[in-house]
Amino acid sequence: MNLSHLQTMSSEKQAEEAIVSSLNETMEHEEEDQGDNSIFSVKSLLWHGGSVYDAWFSCASNQVAQVLLTLPYSFSQMGMLSGIILQVFYGVLGSWTAYLISVLYIEYRTRKEKENVSFKNHVIQWFEVLDGLLGPYWKAIGLAFNCTFLLFGSVIQLIACASNIYYINDKLDKRTWTYIFGACCATTVFIPSFHNYRIWSFLGLGMTTYTAWYLTIAALVHGQVEGVTHQGPTKLVLYFTGATNILYTFGGHAVTVEIMHAMWKPQKFKYIYLLATLYVFTLTIPSASAVYWAFGDQLLNHSNAFSLLPHSAWRDAAVILMLIHQFITFGFACTPLYFVWEKVVGMHDTKSICLRAVSRLPVVIPIWFLAIIFPFFGPINSAVGSLLVSFTVYIIPALAHTLTYKSASARKNAAEKLPCFLPSWTAIYAVNTAIVIWVFVVGFGLGGWASMTNFIKQVDTFGLFAKCYQCPPSPSSKHH
């Protein structure tokens, strides 16, 4: 018994040392490439992040962007109490599945390091982890769901840009703004990897924090509108549409593996997502509650919270900061797609940033096109949440973790120890099974029915390629 225990401890230590030494080699290699000039320290400070703090900023910044503006809309669909409870519930659920993804990444990397596989100039992605641990069928499933989710995640950021800028300048319709921002967002092809989002993640989170507290304070200062009503929930369709938008909010970890890979010590990632989620609660719960308190059921026809708040310099600042942050989040969602496409066309190992940028451009075109076809800011979040996020970041990680460690030998040789708060494999299997059943029935089943019903209603009301979705009637906007 003692001998097997010592062997397990020894294998764990060897695995950890292998990963750390590999990462140190990668780091040294990258530092050599930078050269010993005086610019290095500034460039490193702004451009080249891989610390625990960088990962925290990346997770928190990526988790909540434009969705902050749609949460009051969700509260109007489901009521304040349900809104708050489900935010906490899905926040904890999302943190658990992000933890599972991080465990599977370490397991995959440890096994590959033992086979002397080098990851220099190669970014490990979620579908590769699934392939290495569970085989080609799982790779195909992971790739299909992840890429589709990230594609529509990028589409949503583009739609949000057009929706927001309209509240500063309504001389152009939202479709024209989508063309303009599509061109702007295409410049993200020049950002090589998640290492290079250091300054952007920091700024992005600052911008979201400002916007969240602007929404909260502006709604409280404005006070309740005359005759305000808070009738939600009134219909099951609306209730589950709102619930899937919240599921979408805390399902932002489709880029977890890429963020982990950008860390110098990925083993430290385990609890980062939970810490990021706790901070995000301080942004989402007060802002959604305050705006819903002030405007009540009016939000049912205003999926963007900016549309009800009075015009002011503070609102303009919030709109501009959100636009910049949506540009950053577009890059976050698109970068894994760029990596997949580079691997398909054989450009992933190329060192030239310009060559890689040119090869990435075809990824942006379908995103641009889809944003013009489906400009339904708000309803599209719920549709993506129920059909894609439910599988990508809840069901697949929970199933993959259970199947990876189903054999006694896999559990015995696991690269990561069981968490201190759940030191039993039976308990972990029970939690994973409960997540799969809950998300499949409530998130995918009921949520899919509700969000698609709502989405089809938007298509019937506004049509595909809608020129100016949910714009107030005006001489320049006769569509409504």
Q: What is the DSSP string of 288-321?
A: HHHHHHHHGGGGGG--SGGGTSPP-HHHHHHHHH
Q: Where are the alpha helices (DSSP H) in 64-135?
A: 67-78, 80-114, 126-134
How many angstroms separate the Cα of 444 from the Cα of each of 74, 377, 391, 397, 452?
Answer: 17, 20, 8, 15, 11
Maximal CA-CA distance, the chain: 82
Check residue 477 and report its DSSP letter.
B
Query: Which amino acid, one-letter code, is at 134?
Result: L
Q: Is 21 exposed, middle or buried (0-12, 13-18, 19+ CB in 10 A)?
A: exposed
d(CA 375, CA 99): 34
Backbone angles phi, psi at 477, to 5 degrees: -130, 75
- Count the neighbouring beta carbons within 10 Å of the beta carbon of residue 464: 11
Please tell me the predicted confidence (pLDDT) of residue 354: 85
C-beta of residue 63 within 8 angstroms of C-beta of residue 325: no
Structure-token pair, residue 463? 């049509």
- Please list the alpha-helical segments (H only) found in 196-312: 198-222, 236-249, 256-261, 272-295
pLDDT in tens, the chain (480 residues): 444 444 444 454 454 444 444 444 444 344 334 334 444 455 555 545 678 888 898 888 888 877 888 899 999 999 999 999 999 999 999 999 999 999 999 999 999 888 888 777 778 888 899 999 999 999 999 999 988 888 888 888 888 888 788 878 777 787 888 888 888 888 888 877 766 677 888 888 999 999 999 999 999 999 999 988 988 788 898 899 889 889 888 876 667 887 888 888 888 888 899 999 999 999 999 999 999 999 999 998 888 888 899 989 999 999 899 888 888 888 888 888 888 888 888 887 777 788 888 889 898 888 888 888 877 766 787 888 888 889 998 999 999 999 999 999 999 989 888 888 888 999 999 999 999 999 999 999 999 998 888 888 877 776 666 677 657 665 444 443
CB 468 within 8 A of CB 174: yes
Q: Would you state the structure tokens that stand for residue 368, as one six-digit string?
A: 């641009």
Spatial CB neighbours of 346, under 8 Å, sequence gap ≥ 6: none
Q: What is the pLDDT of residue 475?
A: 47
Distance CA(14)–CA(213), nearest Å, equals 47
Nearest to 35 by CA among 44, 46, 22: 44
Question: Which pLDDT value is given to residue 16?
Answer: 47
Query: d(Cα 33, Cα 16) in Å, to the nearest integer?
Result: 26
Residue type, 283: L
Q: What is the CA radius of gyration of the chain?
A: 23
Q: DSSP of 128-188, one letter per residue?
A: HHHHHHH-HHHHHHHHHHHHHHHHHHHHHHHHHHHHHHTTT--SS-HHHHHHHHHHHHGGG
pLDDT at 36: 42
Residue 34 near residue 298 (C-beta atoms within 8 A):
no
Q: What is the pLDDT at residue 3?
A: 47
